[in-house]
Amino acid sequence: MTTTLSVPYRLQFDVEVPGTPEQVWEAIATAKGMSAWFTPTELEEREGGALHFSMGPEMGSDGRVTGWDPPRRLVYEEDWAALMGKEPEALSPLTSEFLVEARSGGTCVVRVTSSGFGTGAAWEQEFWDEMGPGWLPHFDTLRLYLTHFPGQEATQLEAAAAHRCDEHALWSTLRATLGLAGEGATVQVRDATGTVERVGERRALVRLTAPVPGMLSVYTWAEGDDVSTAGVRAFLFSADAADYVRREEPAWRAWLEGLPVPA
């Protein structure tokens, strides 16, 4: 039986970032640019081109470019049904549109719209309720990238560890261990030094200055059944960043595993 798709879902928000339209386009519409602030990305830079977002071991989202007008407009569709493990006819594609508009003073506004159609199932609404808060922190990272590292290629570091505790307790522990006093504060954890750029709800963004320059996102999320995960994701910009990741990624994971979480 064919499922009737009649329930519309839509998210839209604007973000102002530094740079020319060409610089912003390189950051949002190329594999190199997307991989420097979002997630490892494969992208054929043309209308009809294939794309793939890597979301972890054996996890990812596939799609294709449906609108390509440099440096103004990018549209792509992802296979929402496959991403959620549903039958192909159960959901429409997940469509995302990026519009770039130049402003005076050397900035641009990026307007992002994501939309799709479903059946009105409770899990669909939950997906969209979580999508907005999940998207927004990435655009803080985009703004920081275009401010300090425009056009540069990133090497990513990622580590996470699960703990049997409430997410709020885990975030409190992580924030205290990092010494996240507030935006503008200097922090030092392990051998890394940086400046706090943003502190949000169970997430913070740090601009790293040593031993390698880059951006560090620290966060927690609830896994369910009183299990929560603490994680770090860094985008590093230097010739020796790959050596740093090979050497230090296991140590970051061990540091997260050793957080003094209350029983």
Same domain? 12 vs 129: yes
Amino acid present at 224: G
Same domain? 135 vs 205: no
pLDDT score at 4: 59
The residues facing 159 across adjacent strands are 232
Is residue 1 domain-resident?
Answer: no
Residue 63 domain boundaries: 7-148
Q: What is the pTM of this model?
A: 0.92
Same domain? 142 vs 27: yes
What single DSSP character describes residue 132?
Answer: H
Is residue 262 domain-resident?
Answer: no
Same domain? 127 vs 251: no
**Of the residues 127, 148, 169, the one at which a domain ends:** 148
pLDDT score at 5: 67
pLDDT score at 208: 96
How many domains, in total, are found in the chain?
2
**Of the residues 133, 148, 163, the one at which a domain ends:** 148
The stretches in the chain having pLDDT less than 50 are: 1-2
Interval 129-188: pLDDT, tens: 999 888 889 999 999 999 999 999 999 999 999 999 999 999 999 999 888 878 889 998
Q: Are 78 and 54 in contact (CB under 8 A)?
A: no
